[in-house]
Amino acid sequence: MAEIELSFGGGNNNNNVVKKGEFLFIQGEKVSSFFLVKRGEICLFKTNEKKIIPVGYEKSKGIVGADCVLTSDEYFYTALAMEDSSVVEINRNEIMQYLAYKDDWVRKLLIDLSGKIDHTMNIVSEHKLVDPSLFGDQDFNQEIERQIRILLEE
């Protein structure tokens, strides 16, 4: 059997433009794919007791949602474009087919690492730990949180 080719911005993957303020996915939605960030900025955050807690920030060449694809049926955080961004969408089935051709230890290692990332994000959100560097060059403040809350309610 031939291997499925996965490359940054190549293959049969979907190149998408995500406008500032658009969601790639929302916490709790069914996992369908993950994204490679070609250009732009994507904020990752969890909602916890009506509070929005940033847990990551991805720029060019970042990966968004891969940890969810490997370990969960639902996204365990929300991904929001902070500026117009270009992303490559990789379908969950594609990555699972790709991993099926690899040695079992590779799949197990990726699943283990993904689980650890999820656990770390849970600790960050549970204790409301906000590292300013997670939010890129901007400060995560009440105004940004208010704007995100409005977007979530639409």
* Per-residue pLDDT tens over the stretch 51-79: 888 888 888 888 999 888 888 889 989 99
Q: What does the pLDDT read at residue 20?
A: 92
The DSSP line for 92-127 is HHHHHHHHHTS-HHHHHHHHHHHHHHHHHHHHHHHT
Model confidence at 49: pLDDT above 80: no
Model confidence at 88: pLDDT above 70: yes
Q: What is the CATH number of the domain that holds 18?
A: 2.60.120.10
Domain assignment present for 6:
no
Domain assignment present for 1:
no
| The total number of structural domains that make up the chain | 1
d(CA 57, CA 130): 12
Model confidence at 9: pLDDT above 90: no
Domain assignment present for 2:
no
Name the least confident of 1-5, 15-19, 20-24.
1-5
30: DSSP letter: B
Q: What does the pLDDT read at residue 131?
A: 63
Q: Which residue has the higher pLDDT, 33 or 111?
A: 33
Question: Domain range holding 101?
Answer: 14-153
Domain assignment present for 89:
yes
Domain assignment present for 25:
yes
Pull the structure tokens for residue 75: 């996204």
Q: What does residue 48 show for φ and ψ, rounded to 5 degrees?
A: -145, 115
Domain assignment present for 5:
no
Domain assignment present for 3:
no
Pull the structure tokens for residue 76: 């365990």
